């Protein structure tokens, strides 16, 4: 059987057997179009991996704001969201916006090291 691009990507993004106690798993998700529902955003985030929680900020009247926070079960999902959803254009109720996905500097540095470990797993030394 010849592997498809999707199956190769799925193999590469399997949760790591390595575990770190301070893995960064939370991401800021911003520039969400006003019409994008929480359910829509949750489904979008789940496309990248195991979503542990999705919390969208709300204003004083309870209306959703244009940002929220997602937490994932593993680094592979965090990496996938950063790579695939950041700057992705979505349209909801006639409003179009490019999603902003960010993590803090400590998480960025951690992920750089993690990518190097994964490269060794994927491609060998």
Instruction: For each of the domains in the chain, give its residue range(s) and CATH number, in order of start.
Output: 25-123 (3.30.70.330)
pLDDT at 16: 53
pLDDT at 7: 47
Please determine, for residue 11, whether its predicted confidence score (pLDDT) is greater than 80.
Answer: no
Q: How confident is the model at residue 111 (pLDDT cuts 50, 70, 90)?
A: confident
Please determine, for residue 97, whether its predicted confidence score (pLDDT) is greater than 90.
Answer: yes
SS (H, E, C) 57-117: EECCCCCEEEEEEEEECCHHHHHHHHHHHCCCEEEECCEEEECEEECCHHHHHHHHHHHHH
pLDDT at 114: 83
pTM to 2 decimals? 0.76
CA 82, 39, 36, 60 torsion-angle sign: negative
Segment 58-95, tens digit of pLDDT: 999 999 999 999 999 988 899 899 999 999 999 999 99
Mean per-residue pLDDT of the chain? 84
């Amino acid at each position: 059987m010849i592997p498809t691009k999707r199956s190769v990507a799925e193999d590469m993004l399997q949760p790591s057997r390595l575990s770190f106690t301070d893995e960064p798993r939370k991401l800021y998700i911003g520039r969400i179009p006003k019409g994008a529902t929480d359910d829509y955003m949750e489904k979008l985030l789940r496309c990248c991996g195991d979503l542990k929680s999705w919390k969208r900020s709300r204003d004083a009247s309870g209306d959703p704001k244009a940002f929220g926070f997602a937490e994932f079960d593993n680094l592979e999902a965090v990496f996938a969201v950063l790579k695939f959803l950041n700057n992705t254009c979505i349209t909801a109720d006639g409003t179009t916006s490019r999603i902003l996905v960010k993590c803090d500097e400590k998480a960025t540095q951690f992920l750089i090291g993690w990518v190097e470990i994964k490269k060794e797993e994927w491609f060998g030394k």
